[in-house]
Amino acid sequence: MNYRGTPTNNHLVTASGHPSEGGATNAPSESRNPAIHVSRNAAGQWLARFDQLPPPIRSYALPLLATALVGVGVAILEPNFYRPANLHVLMQQYAVLGLVTLGQLLVLLVSGIDLSVGAVMNATLIIIALMNHYDEHLLVLSLVLCIVFGAAVGTTNGLLVSLRDVPPFAATLGMTAGVQGAILVYTKGIPAGNIPPSLRPIALAGIGSVPFSLLICLSVAVVLMLVLTKGSYGRMIYAVGRSPEVARRVGVSTTAVRVSAYAICGILAAVAGIILSAYVGYVDPTIGGTYNLQSIAAAVVGGVSFLGGEGRPAGALIGALFLLTVLNITTLSSLNPFTQLIVQGVVMLVAVSLFQVFKRRSLT
């Protein structure tokens, strides 16, 4: 159900499980080398075992394996990673990226993309700061307004994509410009106000060492998992992502499904914006700056396809964990800032490339 029926290059896969890459038959000298032969057989057997795993496990294998490998590597190279204080900070930061990535997952599942999540997060902070400028009696109202705003932005994105056939990239990028422009016009470039102290425990406090924000994120993830795997809405989401035409023919309202996906994405971006505002505790009008691309990267690393109809919440969350773990480790490593960027880029590229290899196999 959750895997695209894309044609696979079965004819390129040899009996031992190796993709021939069109060149396997041109390697007689290599096959004469016993060491290489044994190692190929071992790899082949390993991959054959991989092929026998159930599809859901196969699809999560790489992100899980990558995260586990990073975890082991970190234990050796940067033991400070496992300090409770660091894990607490990681959990605080993870909750925000996790929520945005779950929203992005829904949009990617319906063959879309949302580049306005960062702008929604910025607007959320501005709404909270301005409505609680002098006291906090409007806090609850401001939070409701943030969520309504996120839903409105998402719904507008969905309508533009579905009814006006605006490409998702253009629609959501235009929305970003519109929201950012509105923020600047309203604040004149200078956002007054402050983040109410009573909001901050959402991000800074929790049950034991687990922040409330992480509990919110995981609760949303569980609900999404149930909705996507057990309910008819999940089937419709995947159907619209795989083939809108077929979905339409079987009576699925592709417009309603797409709009709802964008609306939920907007709501989750608003919730993430609220939590990030509580975490940062200072009026930073560019608070959502990096979350557009980070959420997309996390989803892709977690096995979500740009083509739609492929991916799961658990994968998206694992992707977000992998991404944040890499960022956390490069920060802890005290590498030169330029080298940190290179390491982050290379690790991401390797992870995504390896994922493609595993994905091809999981589709066979």
Partner 1 sequence: MEMKMSSRPAVRKRFRQLFALGLVIPSGAALMLSACGGQSGGGGTKTPTVAFISQGTSNSWAAQLDAVARKTAKADGVNLVYFNGQGDATKQLPLIDQAIAQHPDAIVLVPLGAAADTGPVERAMQMGIKVILCNSTVNTDNYTSLVNPNAATASVPLAQWLVDKMNHKGNLLYIGGLPGNATTIAYDQGFNQVISQYPDIKVINGGNASYSISTGKQLAATAIASGKTFSGVWGVGGEAVTGIMQAYIDAKVQPVPPIGGGAATNGILRLGIENKIEVASLQFPPSDSKVCIDTAVKAIKGETVPKLINISALPEYGPILPPLDKYYKPQYSDDLYVGTDSVLTQEELKAINLLK
User: Footprint of partner 1 on this chain (CB under 8 A)?
Assistant: 80, 83, 85-86, 88-90, 92-93, 184-185, 187-192, 194, 204, 276, 279-287, 289-290, 327-328, 330-332, 334-338, 340-341
- Assess contact for 94 and 214: CB atoms under 8 A: yes
Smallest distance from partner 1 to CB 210, Å: 15
Nearer to partner 1 by Cβ, of 28 and 84: the residue is 84
Smallest distance from partner 1 to CB 287, Å: 5
Q: Name the residue with tokens 């496992």.
A: 82
Nearer to partner 1 by Cβ, of 160 and 276: the residue is 276
Tell me how far CA of residue 197 lies from CA of 20, 125, 151, 163, in angstroms.
61, 14, 26, 42
Q: What are phi and psi of 208, to 5 degrees?
A: 65, -130
Q: Cα(287)–Cα(274) distance, rounded to whole angstroms?
A: 10
Tell me how far CA of residue 20 lies from CA of 10, 27, 34, in angstroms.
10, 11, 19
Smallest distance from partner 1 to CB 340, Å: 6
Smallest distance from partner 1 to CB 127, Å: 15
Nearer to partner 1 by Cβ, of 62 and 283: the residue is 283
Smallest distance from partner 1 to CB 187, Å: 6
Nearer to partner 1 by Cβ, of 13 and 89: the residue is 89
| Maximal C-alpha separation, the chain | 80
Nearer to partner 1 by Cβ, of 213 and 260: the residue is 213
b/e sequence 282-317, b meaning 16+ C-beta within 10 Å: ebbbebbeebbebbbbbbbbbbbbeebbbbbbbbbb
Nearest Cα neighbor of 45 from 8, 17, 9, 12 is: 17
Smallest distance from partner 1 to CB 364, Å: 40
Nearer to partner 1 by Cβ, of 191 and 234: the residue is 191
Nearer to partner 1 by Cβ, of 110 and 125: the residue is 125
Smallest distance from partner 1 to CB 316, Å: 20
Smallest distance from partner 1 to CB 157, Å: 22
Q: What is the dihedral of CA 222, 235, 270, 203, to 10 degrees?
A: 10
Q: Which positions ≥6 away from 113 have C-beta within 8 Å?
A: 104, 107, 168, 169, 172, 296, 306
Q: Which positions ≥6 away from 138 have C-beta within 8 Å?
A: 131, 132
- Assess contact for 100 and 267: CB atoms under 8 A: no
Nearest Cα neighbor of 309 from 245, 358, 222, 263 is: 245
Nearer to partner 1 by Cβ, of 170 and 177: the residue is 177
